């Protein structure tokens, strides 16, 4: 009797623990985006619910290929128990479109409980992803597949190497991989796509992506990618195999080829075009909403997307008069693998200096080309309102100078001259002599004032050039410590070229490297300075656009510093 009581008590505690766990009834899939003809798993799961009466909703137009496959589980962790019951189905996708699957239901006593809904998107198979009849008859074959058969320069194109098999393969390797002509190819490491199932000619194949490349088109034209050769080891049943040793047969398989057409983006690009081709997002912030005259306004723009990082640059966007704009710099350059693509993020810093008090409105803008829509898209942030107020000079007076004060002084002097002229003791000779002295004095003062003004303007340009260059070099030093090669060379290039543009007041329209070199040669700068500038820019271009970081960053940093110091001495 006592034993029965103890068993009953244990059972009650066990049931109580089960009920104490969170009950859940859900429906889920192994993926929500599939291609036409592919299969995916649909699963209905009961967790910590004492029933097994699951009723699947109407799944048409999907076709049930297999199922239901039933599984149960019971686990005890730290004295707490949980149990689950599930039904799995293998569904085949119909034609392209978005399909909503209604909730599955189950009976719990007199109550009907329901799962969540699921939306599955079926996309069209790319022509390159459709095996031909010969391949579909083979038990194992390899294919190369691209995300698109048409692309634009600057767009990311995904190239997958895919194995299709109905056999147990011992191993497989790539034995011959031709370099894609006309593309900059970047392999994605650690591809972890799960194996998929596809129905071909009534047969189910297991497919697996074994290698993935990101292709960045470099020029327009028609290109052929592939074929790629693979070797496979296939187990053979010839009576010589044992439990510890399985005989295999080695085969060389050749993939298909792909025709890919590359276009130039349309020429009618907006002025705010950033060089990006793909899909992009942008956000911007401003460091202050109130500044003084002459105080810097910093606008930070963060751009992220899936284009070619080497072509992405800080966009030009309109700003109000009364603000002086400096060359934007790149403060961050990151690339992450997200899904089957590379996501790039760049942060640009813009500096504006107000010359007069006013309320300015800034609206950062960016344009990119969308291959999906076939046109340029423009996005913006803000607007940001900046209130500029008077500053204070070192002597304590207001930074702005009243332009009417000189005019009033001049009027006063003219009045005194007229008074002297009407004086009875002043002869015409005396008046002429006095006027000549006054006129000569005015001419001398005017010439001196122009010299001082020109000197101040030159000093201002020199100071601004040095300020921007030092700011770029500070960032370059930071990137050097972080071993961020790409951003480092970007800042070195901007520090040297930007300094020359600002020091000699060269227009941005003439800011190409060749134009700067021509300017230096025409202004008779010494050969060592010109040669050092050429050397720095060549190394920066190789590093930024070819991804070759063979140079010593410390030496490059000191070369840039030496070059700027030489210009400072002139």
Q: At what angle do helices 404-421 and 428-481 cross, to 10 degrees?
A: 170
Give yes or no: residues 90 and 175 share one domain.
Answer: no
Domain end call among 214, 235, 263? 263
Domain end call among 98, 123, 148? 123
CATH of the domain at 363: 2.60.40.740
Kindly state whether residue 394 falls inside one of the protein's structural domains.
no
Point out the least confidently predicted range of 43-52, 452-461, 526-535, 557-566: 452-461
Percent of the chain with pLDDT over 70: 76
> What does R_g of the chain's alpha carbons equal in angstroms?
37
Into how many domains does the chain fold?
Answer: 4
Average of per-residue pLDDT values in the chain? 78
What does each C-alpha distance from 380 to 124, 274, 362 come to in angstroms?
33, 13, 10
Give yes or no: residues 277 and 168 share one domain.
Answer: no
Give yes or no: residues 382 and 312 share one domain.
Answer: yes
CA–CA separation, 303 vs 346, rounded Å?
5
Contact 230/251 with Cβ under 8 angstroms? Answer: no
- pLDDT for position 408: 40
Contact 431/423 with Cβ under 8 angstroms? Answer: no
Q: How far from each other are the two terminal CA atoms of the chain, in whole angstroms?
A: 108
> Residue 43 belongs to what domain range?
17-123
Percent of the chain with pLDDT over 90: 26
Q: Which is more confident, 354 or 193?
A: 354
Q: 106-123: b or e for each residue (b if 16 or more CB lie within 10 Å)?
A: beeeeeebebeebebebe
Contact 130/200 with Cβ under 8 angstroms? Answer: no
CA angle 99, 103, 106 (to 5 degrees): 150
CATH of the domain at 198: 2.60.40
Kindly state whether residue 433 falls inside one of the protein's structural domains.
no
CATH of the domain at 114: 2.60.40.10
Both tokens assigned to 128: 């390159």
- DSSP string covering 246-296: --EEEEEEE---EEEEEEPPPS---TTEEEEES-EEEEEEES-SEEETT--
Give yes or no: residues 138 and 209 share one domain.
Answer: yes
Give yes or no: residues 63 and 144 share one domain.
Answer: no
Domain end call among 205, 233, 263? 263
- pTM for this predicted structure: 0.57
Q: 405 pLDDT band (50/70/90 cuts)? A: very low
- pLDDT for position 566: 80
Residue 4 has pLDDT above 60, yes or no: no
Give yes or no: residues 235 and 142 share one domain.
Answer: yes
Give yes or no: residues 153 and 230 share one domain.
Answer: yes
């Amino acid at each position: 009797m006592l034993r029965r009581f103890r068993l009953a008590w244990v059972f009650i505690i066990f049931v109580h623990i089960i009920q104490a766990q969170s009950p859940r009834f859900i429906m889920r899939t192994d993926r929500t985006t599939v291609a036409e003809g592919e299969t995916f798993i649909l699963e209905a799961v009961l967790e910590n619910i004492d029933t097994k009466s699951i009723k699947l909703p109407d799944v048409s137009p999907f076709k049930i290929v297999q199922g239901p496959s039933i599984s149960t589980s019971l686990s005890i962790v730290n004295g707490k128990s949980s149990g689950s019951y599930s039904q799995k189905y293998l569904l085949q996708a119909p034609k392209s479109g978005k399909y909503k699957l209604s909730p599955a239901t189950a009976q719990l006593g007199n109550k009907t409980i329901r799962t969540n809904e699921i939306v599955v998107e079926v996309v069209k198979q790319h022509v390159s992803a459709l095996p031909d009849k010969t391949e579909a008859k083979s038990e194992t074959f390899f294919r190369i597949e691209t995300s698109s058969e048409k692309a634009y320069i600057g767009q990311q194109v995904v190239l997958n190497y895919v194995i299709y098999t109905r056999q147990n393969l011992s191993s497989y390797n790539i034995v011959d991989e031709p370099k894609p002509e006309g593309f900059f190819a970047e392999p994605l490491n650690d591809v972890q796509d799960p194996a998929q199932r596809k129905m071909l000619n009534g047969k189910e194949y297991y497919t697996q992506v074994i290698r993935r490349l990101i292709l960045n088109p470099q020029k327009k034209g028609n290109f052929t990618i592939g074929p790629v050769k693979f070797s496979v080891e296939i187990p053979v049943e010839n009576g010589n195999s044992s439990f510890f040793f399985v005989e295999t047969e080695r085969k060389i398989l050749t993939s298909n080829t792909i025709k890919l057409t590359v276009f130039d983006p349309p020429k009618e690009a907006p002025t705010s075009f950033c060089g990006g081709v793909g899909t992009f997002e942008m956000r911007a912030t401003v460091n202050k909403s109130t500044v003084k005259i002459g105080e810097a306004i910093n606008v930070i723009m963060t751009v992220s997307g899936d284009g070619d990082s080497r072509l992405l640059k800080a966009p030009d966007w309109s700003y109000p008069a009364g603000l002086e704009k400096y060359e934007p710099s790149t403060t961050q350059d990151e690339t992450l693998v997200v899904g089957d693509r590379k996501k790039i993020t760049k942060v640009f810093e813009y500096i504006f200096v107000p010359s007069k008090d006013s309320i300015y409105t800034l609206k950062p803008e960016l344009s990119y080309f969308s291959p999906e829509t076939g046109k340029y898209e423009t996005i913006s942030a803000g607007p940001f309102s900046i209130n500029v107020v008077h500053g204070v000079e070192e002597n304590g007076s207001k930074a702005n100078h009243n332009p009417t004060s000189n005019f009033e002084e001049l009027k006063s002097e003219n009045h005194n001259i007229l008074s002297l002229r009407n004086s009875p003791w002043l002869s015409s000779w005396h008046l002429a002599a006095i006027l000549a002295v006054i006129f000569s004095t005015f001419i001398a003062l005017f010439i001196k004032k122009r010299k001082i003004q020109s000197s101040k303007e030159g000093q201002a340009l020199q100071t601004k050039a040095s300020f921007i260059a030092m700011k770029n070099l500070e960032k370059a030093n930071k990137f050097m410590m972080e071993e961020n090669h790409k951003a480092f060379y970007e800042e070195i290039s901007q520090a040297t070229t930007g300094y020359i543009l600002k020091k000699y007041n060269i227009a941005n329209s003439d800011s190409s490297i060749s134009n700067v070199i021509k300017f230096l040669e025409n202004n008779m700068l010494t050969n060592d300075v010109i040669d050092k500038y050429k050397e720095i820019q060549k190394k920066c271009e190789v590093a930024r656009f070819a991804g070759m970081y063979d140079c010593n960053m410390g030496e490059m940093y000191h070369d840039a510093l030496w070059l700027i110091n030489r210009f400072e001495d002139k």
